Amino acid sequence: MPLVRVELPAGKPAEYRTAVGEAIQQAMHAALKVPLGERFHIFTGHAPGDLLIDRIYLGIERSADAIVVQVTLNEGRDAEVKRAFYKTLADRLHERIGLRPEDLVINLVEVKRENWSFGSGEAQLA
The mean predicted confidence, pLDDT, of the chain is 95
> Which pLDDT value is given to residue 120?
85
The pTM assigned to this predicted structure is 0.93
In a 13 Å sphere around the CA of 28, the CA atoms on its Cβ side amount to 26
Is pLDDT above 80 for 123? Answer: no
Q: Where would I find the beta strands (DSSP E) of 10-76? A: 41-46, 67-74
Q: Which domains does the chain have, with CATH numbers?
A: 3-115 (3.30.429.10)
Q: Which helix (H) or strand (E) holds 43?
A: strand 41-46
> Which pLDDT value is given to residue 77?
96
Q: What is the band of 124 on the pLDDT scale with cuts at 50, 70, 90?
A: confident
Burial of residue 71, with CB atoms counted within 10 A of its CB: 0-12 exposed, 13-18 middle, 19 or more buried: buried
Give the strand pairing for 3-9 and 67-74.
antiparallel
> Which pLDDT value is given to residue 48?
86
Is pLDDT above 90 for 26? Answer: yes
Read off φ and ψ for residue 103, nearest 5 degrees: -95, 15
